[in-house]
Structure 1
Amino acid sequence: MSSPRRAESHSPADSAGLTNARTRIVGARTGALADLVVAIVRFFALAGSTIGRAAARIATVVTPLGWVVLALVPVTLALGYTLGWVELVVVGWATAVLAVIALVYLVGRSPFDVSLELLHRRVVVGDPAGGAVTLHNPTGRRVLGVTVEIPVGVGLAELAMPSLRPGASFTNGFAIPTLRRGVIPVGPVRTVRADPIGLVRRELIWTETENLVVHPRTVGVPSTSTGLIRDLEGRPTRDLTSSDVAFHALREYQTGDERRYIHWKSTAKTGTYMVRQFEQTRRSHLVVALSLATSDYATEEEFELAVSVAGSLGVRAIRDGRTVSVVVSTVTPEFAKRKIYAVRALATHLPSRLLDDLAVVEAASAALGIRDVGRIAAEDNAGISVAFLVCGSLVTPSELRAASHSFPVDVAVVAIVCDPDAVPGFRRVAGLSVLTIGYLEDLRIALARSAAVA
């Protein structure tokens, strides 16, 4: 993912309204003491996470029953020898023997090969997806069946694999839920070695983790629906230039003009050097600006709809071979002293890469709102033909107008408000086109209607 394209320095007042970890600890305070307090908090947070990871690794080997048995060994032996209670001594040594026998089950590794394969690397939200685990016996003897575990996101898939004769293989498939966009880690495939009583449990890792990218849902937007753009096919504009393809008029020669544009017939008639003047042409440049600020959206459903809208517009422009920039809010880091005013550009050289980036964007309270995103996008991109501002229902008309005023007057600005509870509609407010959609399928109709009005 691309890094922020631009950041500006601001006064401490810019920390107003910032809600990250630093502001919760020291507020808007700066200086050596505030930095020391933040450093101490970060150190203890890191130490706590390190200890937690170490404890988690131990906990994966010793089961709760195993911890009970380990605690009984010293307690029963101490009480038995102290009180002269033979039965407790016997129980203590018996539990110690069980613990030793359980440890023996952790030694060694099963003699087979395991591979993991995903049926697809990229899918759309709601599409079926799955993977397959193949078990192969490369030895010259039969191996017993085993149960393999495959972590799938936050879930776990368990597959029972049968015993295999020498040289045999067996493949078992499993489904992957794709209810929400994102990157789903699948694997690694692991087998479990455990004693019969269940005192210890050792996980053996066999494969690497594979990632399944779940793209946001998009809708096909016909090229004719983007008729809002005034110069889609390199049509001439009202800007004049000394070199282009659309002839405009003749004028007198000036120092610095190229001689190849001298019109010799007119020069011979007037006795003064005359040169051709052209109307400047340019290809369309689409900008799709997506707000990631949670303050712009009433529900998570609105945000998911906005992501799908940005993906639909960007994919259509890429497939049409147009120049397109898709930008999203930059999220201020947790321990930053002030807001970061910047936008992050997503990959637009391939539709799949754009959808890959959109699959992992998340709304955040510390992200810039649509007003700042529109302003920065206008400053960072030159030659814009049309700008789409994608946001939720909590954005006010005044904020939309302020965002549109950041663009030059010859840029068509279209605000797309995602509100599943609203009736789809189209209106113009002070040169700004506002489309309200409730479902993704409304986007095609709304764009066609706005293009007809334009």
Structure 2
Amino acid sequence: MGGALRRYCGPVVGVVSPLGWIMAGTVLALWVLGAVFDWREALVAALLGSILFVLAVGFILGRSSYAVKLDLSRTRVAVGDRAVGSVAVSNTSSKPLLPASLELPVGAATAIFHLPRLKPDQLHEDLFTIPTHRRAVIVVGPVRSVRADPLSLLRRQVFWTEPTDLYVHPRTVPLVGSAAGFIKDLEGLPTKDLSSADVSFHALRDYVPGDDRRHIHWKTTARTGKLMVRQFEETRRSHLAVALSTNTSEYGSDAEFELGVSVAGSIGLQAIREQRNLSVLTQDGPVRSETGRNLLDDMTRVEGRNQRLTAVDLARTTADSVPNASVVFFVVGPQVTPSQLRSAAASVPPGIRCIAIRCVSGQEPGRATIGDLTVLTLSDLSDLALILRKAAA
């Protein structure tokens, strides 16, 4: 998460500040006006401005020899968790260094650390805490030292570390007990498609050329006097699909949308813990779900926006992208109507279990059905396991 990256100490950027450019333009204009119109007051003002610039140069000259280390105790936290870091600075020169300031960009904000006078090889460390009230990817750093004159006409910055990404993951809850068992029970649902090789035995039939002889049922063959083979039902493999609608027009508030992200993340993590195939999709495309870290990292970057694609469009995309799913979860907002939910469920191939979770603020957890679709209502993430148990009842 950083180190004594002295190779980044060389670049000098942004020497003239915006105020400095304004001042420079004003001084130049005063010199021209004073020379053209013999305006002494303008010449005196231009001279004073030029002197200020010369004095400002003295404040930014000089070189600092620092070893700077930016360290975040964790680069991945959940919303509401403490994100703590430190900036350690040591003097690597043979001479004492005067007091200075270090700046640490944290997202859109900037933290300022004041360095005391450092003796050779002396180490100074500052701790800081980053607020994690909202889901976000926060860029922390790079640490930079700043030299500037009192009027901030000139400003010299030197970068000492590389930036580090801090992932503030959505809140998730573990699904244990009957809630986890419910998700497990949804897997491997048999279909009406018959197969000559699968794990779900269905019936016996006459042998036909080309059948695998390993499936001959010898006891029945001996009793009937003719070759009989086992016939199987195809089963849907353990594959969970989670379709999270990111259309903000379907949610009543930011809190409802964040609840939807947390619900999708919690269900996805449970599937990964059980080593089940998982696909997570939004209107903007698939979300990585190979590991729990990949899933939460991508869920952190999910953004809601008002768009043309609705939850029904997302359901159709999910059906096309994951045709072999055994169960599909639709995570939507309260503005999605029952008719839209019915259309979403109708776009999924027969034999796939469909469950819709409506994220609604201020309502008691509930369960309803629309045709073959189970509709669960959720207002608090802590009730997710409860409503899944209700769906299993």
Q: Same fold per TM (> 0.5)? A: yes
1:183 maps onto 2:137 in alignment: yes
Quote how far apart the aligned CAs of 1:128 are.
0.8
Quote how far apart the aligned CAs of 1:250 are.
2.2
Residue pairs, 1:44-443, within 5 angstroms: 61-64=16-19, 67-68=22-23, 70-72=25-27, 74-75=29-30, 78-79=33-34, 82-83=37-38, 85=40, 89-222=43-176, 224-226=178-180, 232=186, 234=188, 239-330=193-284, 344-366=285-307, 368-443=309-384
Match of 2:363, SS state, is coil
Q: Give the partner amino acid of 1:356.
A: D
- Of stretches 250-259 and 386-395 in structure 1, the one that deviates more from structure 2 is 250-259
Match of 2:237, SS state, is coil
Distance 2:184 2:170 in 1: 29
Deviations 1:307-362 (A, max 9, x none): 011001101111011122111112xxxxxxxxxxxxx2211121111010000111
Match of 2:30, SS state, is helix
Shift of the 277–84 alpha-carbon distance from structure 1 to 2, 3 Å rule, reads closer
Match of 1:303, SS state, is helix
Q: Give the partner amino acid of 1:175.
A: T
Deviations 1:33-85 (A, max 9, x none): xxxxxxxxxxxxxxxxxxxxxxxx86x72252663365135415743784474
Distance 2:208 2:256 in 1: 57
Distance 1:427 1:300 in 2: 25
Shift of the 367–119 alpha-carbon distance from structure 1 to 2, 3 Å rule, reads farther
Q: Give the partner amino acid of 1:361.
A: V
Contact 2:259 2:359 in 1 (8 A): yes
Q: Give the partner amino acid of 1:451.
A: A
Distance 1:297 1:89 in 2: 64
Shift of the 367–184 alpha-carbon distance from structure 1 to 2, 3 Å rule, reads farther
Q: Give the partner amino acid of 1:191.
A: S
Deviations 1:140-173 (A, max 9, x none): 1111121111111111111111121111211111
Quote how far apart the aligned CAs of 1:431 are.
1.4
Deviations 1:239-260 (A, max 9, x none): 4322234443321101220122
Contact 2:188 2:326 in 1 (8 A): no
Distance 2:200 2:42 in 1: 102
Shift of the 81–398 alpha-carbon distance from structure 1 to 2, 3 Å rule, reads closer
Distance 2:287 2:32 in 1: 65
Contact 2:196 2:232 in 1 (8 A): yes
Distance 1:292 1:234 in 2: 29
For residue 31 of structure 1, what is the aligned residue in structure 2? Answer: none
Quote how far apart the aligned CAs of 1:93 are.
2.6
Q: Where in structure 2 are there 5+ consecutive unaligned residues?
A: 1-12
For residue 10 of structure 1, what is the aligned residue in structure 2? Answer: none
Shift of the 81–235 alpha-carbon distance from structure 1 to 2, 3 Å rule, reads closer
Shift of the 241–88 alpha-carbon distance from structure 1 to 2, 3 Å rule, reads closer
Contact 1:240 1:280 in 2 (8 A): yes
RMSD between superposed Cα atoms in Å: 2.4
Shift of the 278–90 alpha-carbon distance from structure 1 to 2, 3 Å rule, reads closer
Distance 1:239 1:274 in 2: 20
Contact 2:143 2:161 in 1 (8 A): yes
Shift of the 242–102 alpha-carbon distance from structure 1 to 2, 3 Å rule, reads same
Q: Give the partner amino acid of 1:359.
A: T
Distance 2:313 2:177 in 1: 29
Distance 1:152 1:431 in 2: 49
Give the number of the structure with larger relative contact order, counting CA–CA contacts within 8 Å between residues 6 or more apart: 1
Question: What is the TM-score normalised by the length of structure 1?
Answer: 0.78
Query: What percentage of residue pairs aligned between the two structures are identical?
Result: 44
Contact 2:144 2:157 in 1 (8 A): yes
For residue 20 of structure 1, what is the aligned residue in structure 2? Answer: none
Quote how far apart the aligned CAs of 1:106 are.
3.3
Distance 1:299 1:250 in 2: 57
Contact 1:161 1:170 in 2 (8 A): yes
Match of 2:381, SS state, is coil
Quote how far apart the aligned CAs of 1:368 are.
2.0
Shift of the 69–260 alpha-carbon distance from structure 1 to 2, 3 Å rule, reads closer
Q: Where in structure 1 are there 5+ consecutive unaligned residues?
A: 1-56, 331-343
Quote how far apart the aligned CAs of 1:212 are.
0.1
